[in-house]
Chains A and B, each alone.
Chain A
Amino acid sequence: DAGVTQSPTHLIKTRGQQVTLRCSPKSGHDTVSWYQQALGQGPQFIFQYYEEEERQRGNFPDRFSGHQFPNYSSELNVNALLLGDSALYLCASSPPPWERTDTQYFGPGTRLTVL
């Protein structure tokens, strides 16, 4: 049973560029959440996708956008990169709501460095 997968593992970009990160949820999960984790900090919620729609959003600017595909996989896009966007980006998946659990299972993350 494959867990949550993310690609790429590492990424280096320069200021002003755009980046796309990808996530495939754990088998049987249909909800995907994205988090940003700066060095030495706890993860911060970016947004959550369910049924191909953004259901909740954290305090992140519009430069952060996402998408969920019919197969439940998801992308996180960040435009006009800033140095402060350098972080570990974590994707988490969770089961359908009727399973009555909010447990989120995380992928290995994508380490983004902005120069």
Chain B
Amino acid sequence: AQKVTQAQTEISVVEKEDVTLDCVYETRDTTYYLFWYKQPPSGELVFLIRRNSFDEQNEISGRYSWNFQKSTSSFNFTITASQVVDSAVYFCALIGNQGGKLIFGQGTELSVKP
């Protein structure tokens, strides 16, 4: 069975702090894709990043960075110098080699206080 676990239900930080959101996944597929989405209070899921199982290079995009480690089945997301606008629920998700169905974690609610 495929599963995504986000153990942190809620995180609260003060603006300009760095914060890491954890994601652990389970799959028996050798080919799969991992995603992070952001869901602000408006409700729309915003795509942040897609990673395939063969690419373990870390990625940085502005204040966002992602650390993918197959050895620990983790795909963690770090926000550097957090801002109030980063407040949202963040979801990690997985698609297996048959495609189609996104499997989401429970989400981590990040609150950045001024």
Contact B100 A55 (CB under 8 A): yes
B99 within 8 A of A: yes
Number of interface residues of B (CB under 8 A): 24
In the complex, which of the residues A41, A92, A106, A108 contacts B106, with contact meaning CB atoms closer than 8 Å? A41
Stretch at the interface among A12-20, A69-77, A78-86, A97-105: A97-105
- Which of B37, B44, B101, B103 is close to A108, meaning CB atoms less than 8 Å apart? B44
Closest to A103 in B: B50
Annotate A91-115 by CB proximity to B: 1 below 8 A, 0 otherwise: 0100001000111111111010000
- With A42-B91, A101-B50, A102-B33 in contact, do A108 and B102 touch (Cβ < 8 Å)? no
For chains A and B in complex, what number of residue pairs have CB atoms within 8 angstroms?
Answer: 58
Contact, CB under 8 Å: A58 / B47: no
List A contacts of B98 (CB < 8 A): 56
Given A41, A58, A108, which contacts B42 in the complex, CB threshold below 8 Å? Answer: A108
Interface hits, B10-50 → A, CB 8 Å: 33, 35, 37, 42-47, 50
In whole angstroms, how far apart are the Cα atoms of A44 and B43 in the complex? 15
Residues A43 and B104 in contact in the complex (CB < 8 Å), given A102-B33, A102-B95, A109-B43: yes
Residues of A within 8 A of B (CB): 33, 35, 41-45, 48, 55-56, 58, 88, 90, 92, 97, 101-109, 111
Nearest first, the 5 A-B pairs at minimum CB distance are A42-B104, A106-B45, A56-B100, A108-B44, A45-B101
Can you give 24 contacting A-B residue pairs, CB < 8 Å?
Answer: A35-B102, A42-B104, A42-B106, A43-B91, A43-B102, A44-B104, A45-B100, A45-B102, A55-B100, A56-B101, A58-B101, A90-B45, A92-B45, A102-B33, A102-B95, A103-B35, A103-B47, A106-B44, A106-B46, A106-B47, A108-B42, A108-B43, A108-B44, A109-B44
